[in-house]
Chains A and B, each alone.
Chain A
Amino acid sequence: MLGYLRSRRAPEAEDLTGEVFLKLVRSLDTFEGGEADFRSWLLTVTHHAMVDEFRRRGRRPEEPAPHDDLVSAAPPQQSEPDAIERLTTEEILDLLDVLTEAQREVLTLRLLSGLSTREIGDIVGRSRGAVKQLQRRAIHRLRDLLAEHPYPINPPER
């Protein structure tokens, strides 16, 4: 949940997580289902809370950064996969900014929640096919980014 909020660059993700927990406690007696349902429900509440928070703050989740901003002139100092795995959270989020909002949403939910594409579709209000397509395109886009530009990539300045 926190990871999902972080991945979406939700403002003050930790605090928002706390609010989501409180919402869950308040409506816990309305929940019915098993563990998978609970996880799905939890992420649905999280997703809605995040959308509400963005709306309250009058902005949408981060739009993708321009592709060229991610290119760095720095030469690779170590093997790329190792270097990538040492990226900080902020650097990772910057890289994920190349994705569209929907692609990022689906990919991070898949990565972090372990939910199926169908369950993610229920959360984000899309069909299973649309979720699959978004995930596929997200991976493609990241692969293209990392293939085109030698690593490390400096995150774009904000």
Chain B
Amino acid sequence: MDEMTPGPEPEDNLERLLAQPGQEDERVAALLRAARRRLSAPAPDDVRDRHLSAIHGLARQRAERRSLSWADRARAVIGMTSVKVGLAAAAAAAATGGAVTGTLPPPVQEAVAEVGEAVGIELPRPGGGDAPAAPGRGQPPEEADGGARDRDGREGPAGRGEPGPPEDRERPDPGAPGREGDPADPEPRGSAPGDPPESRGDGLGQRGEAPAEAPRPGIAPHREEPGRASPDPDDGGDGSPGQPAVDAPPDEWPAP
């Protein structure tokens, strides 16, 4: 009949057919009404209770997992920040270390030397012109001296393997360019430079070894060092002074 009486949309036809069926549609309308009523019958109580219980349990699980996942996310963010800071620190350390020793490619060495000169650091220029002055202007002499010896593979006389007192490390040092507040601190303060980088509790080796796994604050093996409260490399940006970036390139520390 729909073909014979075109006009309303099928959905309208259906409702009309159910509500006011014509003579020839009475039976089909009755069938559809019965279908709607029977098929829409609610589930038995026990089935309904079972479903509600399962849904409730799942919702509770999800709520708990969500609260946990927020903590995990926060940890992951902190961890990724640490990794990034660590990688930046490693890059900076490698670059400045190469600049001090004059082993960078000539154009790079030239550029780095110019920048260093602008901020008061003398770095060798390509071709072996200038020798670096006392490494780490404004640094405690024993640290500067130790750094020089480190490059020869010998233990520094000032006990580079032994960290100095915390007040030495945390003394503000305006003469250490690029250090103050620099999150890309290549050398964690308070660590023992006499150790290989990978063995340092908060050292670059750890930062660079497994960047895929977000490190968690506090899980890195921590050396007992008086000048350092936390192994978190994020602490590197706190502006506390230490050794200059040009002093002890991490890739040239002597083996233990």
CB 8 Å contact bits of B19-35 with A (1 = contact, 0 = none): 00000111111111111
Overall SS of chain A's interface: helix
- Chain B residues contacting A7 (CB-CB under 8 Å) are 35, 39
User: A117, B38: Cβ atoms under 8 Å?
Assistant: no
Our count of residue pairs bridging A and B at CB distance below 8 angstroms stands at: 115
User: B17, A139: Cβ atoms under 8 Å?
Assistant: yes
- Chain A residues contacting B27 (CB-CB under 8 Å) are 80-81, 84, 143, 146-147, 151
CB 8 Å contact bits of A12-36 with B (1 = contact, 0 = none): 0011011001100110000000000
Overall SS of chain B's interface: helix
User: A142, B31: Cβ atoms under 8 Å?
Assistant: yes
- Chain A residues contacting B33 (CB-CB under 8 Å) are 85
- Check A126 for interface membership: any CB of B closer than 8 A: no
User: A80, B26: Cβ atoms under 8 Å?
Assistant: yes
User: A81, B29: Cβ atoms under 8 Å?
Assistant: yes
- Beyond the given pairs A132-B9, A139-B28, A143-B1, 7 more chain A to chain B contacts, judged by CB atoms under 8 angstroms and listed by A's residue number, are A80-B27, A81-B27, A87-B34, A89-B39, A108-B39, A117-B10, A143-B27
List residues of chain B with CB under 8 Å of any chain A CB.
1-3, 9-11, 13-14, 17, 24-44, 47, 50-51, 54-55, 58-59, 62
List residues of chain A with CB under 8 Å of any chain B CB.
2-4, 6-7, 14-15, 17-18, 21-22, 25-26, 80-82, 84-89, 92, 95-96, 107-108, 110-112, 116-117, 131-132, 135-136, 139-140, 142-143, 146-147, 151
